[in-house]
Every structure is written in C-alpha cells, then in structure tokens.
C-alpha cells in the first residue's frame, strides 16, 4: 500500500496500520468501529440466550406441600397405648322373683299362686312386723302357710320357735324330727296332723337359725307328702344376708 506500512507485535496481539493518508485512517477506524459494535451485539445476544436457557425455579405444588405436612405430623404423633384385653366376666344367671318374698332383711320362697302378707300389720297397721320379730301368712283353697321370726342372738337351737308356732289346740307333731345343716344354718323339720281345717288335715313344721334371728315355718296341706316339698322350696330360696 502506497505511503503506508504495517507494524505487528506478535506477542502483544496488536496490529497497527501506520499511514500518513488521512482518508485511509478514517476508513480503517470505521471498519474497526463496526466490528466492535458487531462483537458487542453478539456477546449481548449470547448472554440473553444463556439466561433464557438457565433452569427456572418451579413454583411449589400446594397439594404436595399439604401431603408433606400431613406426613410429618403423622410421623411426629406418639404411638397409641395398646388396649389391654378385656377381662372376661361370668354371664349373669337368670333370677326370677316369682314365688319369692323379700322384706325385713330376708327372703323366702313360696308357691307362685299365693302371696305372703303381714299379719301384724293386718291386725294393727301401726304395729307392723320389723327386723326383730314378725309374722307372715299366705293361703289358698289347698294350703295355709305361716312364717314367724324373732331376734335371738347366739342361739343355735331353733326348737323353741317351732314349739311357739305349733298350736297346742289343733296341731300334733309326728315326732320324727329331721335335723340337718344347710348353708351354715341349723334346720329341723317334722310332719304334723291338724284339726284346724277339715280340708287340710296334714302338714309340716320347720325352724332354722340365720344370723342373730330364728325363723319358723308351718303349712296345712291336703297330705303329709305335699308338705315337705313346700318346706324345701321355701328354704332353698331363703336368705338373710348370710
């Protein structure tokens, strides 16, 4: 090139054009200016693309957050205490109140077609039977039953109350006394004949101890054979808190 020379520094990577021609210098400056502008534009475009390709942070999923919170709560809950096995209890035994009299702190059985009433209260409503003493009666066309009791602490022989219940004018004991022990109660029983009622010529009488009281029982019946089962039934359901 006329009037121009080129100086190149290899180590510094610099290229210099030296020319005294002002027109050439101006053209060269324009060329390098355009190239610098193009380079800046290219770098800007690359940075924009790189930013567009960068991974975006995903918005959290509300459902996933709720599930994670529930799972964390359940994991933090204490384990339930094991429920001990239930204790087996015996099944209740059916118990019928039919044919059972309960009052004055004792119970006694009787035929279902009769009912005991308080003889003392019937005679004098102001003087009913009590825990300490009393008299009951029950009857129908085929039997007549009496029960009396009296407090008698430390008594083991109930014979005296049996003799009290027997009517010397009408009742005659057979003299075949049956003495036995049932549920820690001293019991005695004898058959009788009676003239108190023509249709009820036979019967039985019994007595027993229970706690601090003595009880006596008597029945007028059509036959001696029908009397003992009635006594056994009364005694089998008898209780006085023992």
Q: Say if 109 falls within a structural domain.
A: yes
- pLDDT digit string, tens, across residues 27-38: 444 444 444 555
Question: Is 57 domain-assigned?
Answer: no
Q: What is the domain range of residue 139?
A: 100-236
Which pLDDT score is estimated for 91? 74
**pLDDT average, residue stretch 1-26:** 44
Question: Which among 120, 150, 162 is positioned nearest to 137, based on CA atoms?
Answer: 120
Tally of structural domains, the chain: 2
Closest CA to 1 of 29, 23, 30, 32: 23
Q: Is 40 helix (H, G, I), strand (E, B) or coil?
A: helix
**CATH number for the domain including 208?**
3.40.1000
Residue 242 belongs to some domain of the structure: no
Coil, helix or strand at residue 181: strand
Residue 71 lies in a domain: no
Residue 158 belongs to a domain: yes
Are residue 198 and residue 137 in the same domain, yes or no? Answer: yes
pLDDT at 52 (0 to 100): 55
What integer pLDDT is reported at residue 87 of this predicted model? 79
Give the model confidence (pLDDT) of 150-190 as tens digits.
Answer: 999 999 999 999 999 999 999 999 999 999 999 999 999 99
Is 8 found in the same domain as 113?
Answer: no
- 0.75 exceeded by pTM: no
């Amino acid at each position: 090139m006329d009037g121009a020379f080129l100086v190149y520094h290899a180590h510094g990577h610099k290229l210099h054009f030296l020319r005294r021609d002002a027109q050439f210098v101006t053209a060269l400056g324009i060329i390098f200016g355009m190239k610098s502008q193009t380079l800046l534009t290219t770098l800007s475009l690359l940075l924009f693309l790189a930013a567009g390709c960068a991974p975006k942070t995903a918005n959290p999923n509300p459902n996933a957050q709720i599930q994670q919170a529930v799972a964390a709560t359940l994991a933090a809950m204490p384990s339930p205490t094991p429920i001990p096995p239930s204790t087996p209890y015996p099944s209740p035994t059916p118990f019928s109140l039919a044919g059972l009299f309960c009052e004055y702190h004792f119970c006694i059985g009787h035929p279902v077609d009769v009912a005991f009433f308080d003889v003392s209260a019937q005679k004098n409503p102001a003087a009913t039977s009590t825990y300490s003493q009393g008299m009951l009666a029950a009857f129908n066309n085929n039997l007549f039953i009496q029960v009396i009791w009296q407090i008698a602490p430390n008594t083991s022989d109930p014979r005296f109350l049996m003799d009290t219940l027997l009517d010397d004018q009408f009742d005659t004991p057979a003299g075949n006394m049956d003495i036995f022990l049932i549920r820690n109660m001293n019991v005695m029983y004898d058959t009788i004949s009676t003239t108190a009622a023509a249709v009820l010529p036979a019967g039985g009488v019994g007595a027993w101890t229970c706690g601090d009281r003595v009880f006596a029982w008597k029945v007028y019946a059509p036959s001696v054979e029908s009397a003992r089962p009635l006594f056994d039934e009364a005694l089998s359901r008898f209780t006085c808190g023992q």
